C-alpha cells in the first residue's frame, strides 16, 4: 500500500510495510522507524538501509529510493555502489595534500625535460605548502587555505609565491580529474586568487637571475679557453650558443652536424617542447670537433662516469669557485647576449629572440610566420662568437686543425 503521513502514524511497531517497488518502512517506536530498499539483482535478494524515520521523511525516502532504482536500471548494484562510496569517503578523510602532490609529481616526472624539476617541486612543497595544507583532509581544502600559504611569501618572495601557486594549481587540477577533489580549483589565479593578491600593497621588486655586462664576457671567455677541464668547455658552449644550461649539459654527440654547422636539440630537452636547430659558429664547431677527438662517449660533456653527463650544478659551482669576480649565473649568459644584440645589432629583435628559443608570435601570427630565420641566426651567432673571442682564431681552433 502507498504510505501517507497519516498511515505512518497508525502503523504497528515491528511490522515491515511496503510503499511499493521495494521501499519499506519498519516502525521501531511510536514516532520512529527505519527505511529499507529491498530488491533483486542477479537472482539475489538484497536489502539496503536508507536511513531512519522521521529524520528522513516520506518524500525524501522516495527520492533516495528512486535514485537507487535508477542504478538498477543501469545494471549497477545499489548496495555495492554504497559500499564503494563509503570506502572512498573513508580514504578521502585520511587523504592529505602531500599524498595527492606526490601522485601528481610521479605522473608528470617522465614528461619533464629536466629531472631537477621533480626535486624542486618536492622541495618547495615540503617547505612551504605541506605544513599548512596537510592539517586538513584534502577534500576539505579551500581557497582560504591556499591564501594562507601564499600570503606570507607575497611581499618578500613574490616569484616563489607565484611559482608555488602554479604548482598547487596543477596538483588540484590533477585531483579534480582523478576525482580526489570536488568543485572548482581553489588555486586558480585568473579571476580568482588575483582578485585577492592584486589588492595587497606592492613593495616587491622582481629579482632576475644574475648576469654580467656583455662587455666583460670576452675576458671570461678567454679565461675559460685556457682551461682543459670539461666543465670549462661546457661553459664555452653555453656562451657561444646561448642555449639553456640543461640543453647544453645533456648534449649528445649525434646531435651535431659539423659539416652543416648545426646542432639539433631534441624537443624533450626544450622548455617549449619543440625541437630547436642551433647554428654553430666557427668557434663552436672547433670546440665540438676538439671534444670529439678527445673521447667517443655518448655525452659531449661527460662526468667522472664517462657514460653520464656532468652534474646539474657542475657549471655553476665551477663559476663560483674559479671566477669569483664574475657575479653571474650560467643562465645569465642569455641575458648578456640579449642585451648585446639589442645594443650592437640593428633590427635584431626577432633573430635574437629565436636564437634564445623564445616564443615571439601569438596564435594569429604564428600560422603566417613559419620561418626559423636560421641563416640570419647563423650570421648573428657568428658575430656573437667573434665578439666573445675578439680574435676569431683561438687555441681550440688550432687544436682542431682548422687553421
pLDDT for residue 279? 95
pLDDT for residue 208? 53
Residue 227 has pLDDT above 90, yes or no: no
The segment(s) of the chain belonging to CATH 1.10.150.130 are 97-197
For 97-197, the fitting CATH number among 1.10.150.130, 1.10.1040.10, 3.40.50.300, 3.30.1490.100 is 1.10.150.130
Give 224-229's long-range contacts (Cβ < 8 A, gap of 24+): 225/389, 225/394, 225/395, 225/396, 226/395, 227/322, 229/318
Residue that has been written with the C-alpha cell 629579482 in this structure: 207
Residue 101 has pLDDT above 90, yes or no: yes
Residues 6+ apart with CB under 8 A from 171: 97, 100, 101, 104, 187
pLDDT for residue 210? 66
Give residue 234's pLDDT band: very low, low, confident or very high (50, 70, 90). very high
Find out if CATH 1.10.443.10 is the number for domain 214-400.
yes
Residue that has been written with the C-alpha cell 521501531 in this structure: 28
- According to CATH, the topology of domain 5-94 is Double Stranded RNA Binding Domain (3.30.160)
The segment(s) of the chain belonging to CATH 1.10.443.10 are 214-400
Whether 250 and 309 have beta carbons less than 8 Å apart is answered as yes
Q: Compute the distance between CA of residue 352 and CA of residue 334 in angstroms, rounded to an integer.
A: 10
pLDDT for residue 368? 42
Q: Compute the distance between CA of residue 401 and CA of residue 403 in angstroms, rounded to an integer.
A: 6
pTM beyond cutoff 0.85: no
Residue 248 has pLDDT above 60, yes or no: yes
In this predicted model, what pLDDT tens digit does every residue of 124-169 receive, in sequence order? 999 999 999 999 999 999 999 999 999 999 888 888 999 999 999 9
pLDDT for residue 191? 87
Residues 6+ apart with CB under 8 A from 311: 303
Residue 346 has pLDDT above 80, yes or no: no
Residues 6+ apart with CB under 8 A from 130: 97, 98, 101
- Name which of 167-181, 341-355, 358-372, 384-398 the model is least confident about: 358-372
Give residue 401's pLDDT band: very low, low, confident or very high (50, 70, 90). very low
Q: Compute the distance between CA of residue 381 and CA of residue 354 in angstroms, rounded to an integer.
A: 11
pLDDT for residue 398? 42
Residue 370 has pLDDT above 90, yes or no: no
Buried b / exposed e along 236-247 (16+ C-beta atoms within 10 A): bbbbbbbbbbbb
- 134 exposure class (CB count in 10 Å sphere: 0-12, 13-18, 19+): middle
In this predicted model, what pLDDT tens digit does every residue of 23-76 receive, in sequence order? 999 999 999 999 999 999 988 999 999 999 999 999 999 999 999 999 998 999
Following CA atoms 270, 275, 277, 283 in sequence, which dihedral angle do they give, to the nearest 10 degrees? 30
pLDDT for residue 159? 86
In this predicted model, what pLDDT tens digit does every residue of 289-305 receive, in sequence order? 999 999 999 999 999 89
Determine the length of the chain.
403
Query: With helix as H, strand as E and coil as C, how does 142-189 read?
Result: CHHHHHHHHHHHHCCCHHHHHHHHHHHHHHHHHHHHCCCCCCCCCCCH
Residues 6+ apart with CB under 8 A from 246: 113, 114, 116, 269, 312
In this predicted model, what pLDDT tens digit does every residue of 255-278 receive, in sequence order? 999 999 999 999 888 887 889 999
Dihedral sign (CA 141, 147, 152, 157): positive
357 vs 172, higher pLDDT: 172
Amino acid at each position: 500500500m502507498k504510505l501517507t503521513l497519516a498511515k505512518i502514524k497508525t502503523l504497528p511497531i515491528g511490522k515491515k510495510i511496503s510503499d511499493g517497488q521495494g521501499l519499506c518502512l519498519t516502525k521501531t517506536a511510536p514516532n520512529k522507524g527505519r527505511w529499507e530498499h529491498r530488491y533483486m539483482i542477479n537472482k539475489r535478494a538484497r536489502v539496503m538501509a536508507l536511513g531512519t524515520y522521521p529524520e528522513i521523511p516520506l518524500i525524501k525516502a522516495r527520492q533516495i529510493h528512486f535514485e537507487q532504482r535508477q542504478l538498477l536500471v543501469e545494471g549497477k548494484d545499489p548496495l555495492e555502489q554504497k559500499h564503494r562510496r563509503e570506502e572512498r569517503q573513508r580514504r578521502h578523510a585520511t587523504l592529505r595534500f602531500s599524498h595527492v602532490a606526490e601522485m601528481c609529481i610521479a605522473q608528470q616526472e617522465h614528461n619533464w625535460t629536466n629531472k631537477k624539476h621533480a626535486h624542486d617541486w618536492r622541495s618547495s612543497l615540503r617547505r612551504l605548502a605541506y605544513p599548512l595544507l596537510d592539517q586538513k583532509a584534502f577534500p576539505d581544502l579551500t581557497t582560504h587555505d591556499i591564501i594562507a600559504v601564499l600570503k606570507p611569501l607575497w611581499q618578500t618572495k613574490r616569484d616563489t609565491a607565484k611559482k608555488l601557486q602554479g604548482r598547487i594549481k596543477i596538483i588540484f587540477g590533477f585531483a579534480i580529474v582523478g576525482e580526489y577533489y570536488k568543485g572548482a580549483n581553489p588555486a586558480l589565479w585568473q579571476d580568482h586568487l588575483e582578485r585577492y593578491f592584486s589588492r595587497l600593497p606592492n613593495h616587491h621588486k622582481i629579482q632576475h637571475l644574475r648576469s654580467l655586462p656583455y662587455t666583460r664576457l670576452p675576458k671570461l671567455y678567454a679565461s675559460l679557453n685556457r682551461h682543459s677541464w670539461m666543465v670549462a668547455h661546457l661553459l664555452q658552449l653555453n656562451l657561444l650558443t646561448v642555449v639553456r644550461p640543461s640543453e647544453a649539459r645533456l648534449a649528445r654527440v649525434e646531435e651535431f652536424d659539423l659539416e652543416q654547422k648545426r646542432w639539433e636539440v631534441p624537443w624533450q630537452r626544450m622548455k617549449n617542447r619543440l625541437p630547436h636547430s642551433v647554428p654553430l659558429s666557427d668557434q663552436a664547431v672547433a670546440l665540438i670537433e676538439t671534444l670529439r677527438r678527445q673521447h667517443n662517449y655518448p655525452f659531449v660533456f661527460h662526468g667522472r662516469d664517462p657514460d653520464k653527463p656532468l652534474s646539474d650544478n657542475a657549471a655553476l659551482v665551477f663559476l663560483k669557485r674559479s671566477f669569483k669576480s664574475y657575479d653571474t649565473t650560467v643562465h645569465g649568459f642569455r641575458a648578456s647576449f640579449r642585451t648585446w644584440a639589442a645594443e650592437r645589432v640593428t633590427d635584431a629583435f626577432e633573430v635574437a629572440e629565436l636564437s634564445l628559443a623564445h616564443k615571439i608570435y601569438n596564435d594569429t601570427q604564428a600560422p603566417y610566420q613559419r620561418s626559423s630565420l636560421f641563416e640570419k641566426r647563423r650570421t648573428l651567432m657568428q658575430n656573437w662568437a667573434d665578439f666573445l673571442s675578439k680574435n676569431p682564431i683561438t687555441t681550440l681552433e688550432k687544436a682542431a686543425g682548422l687553421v
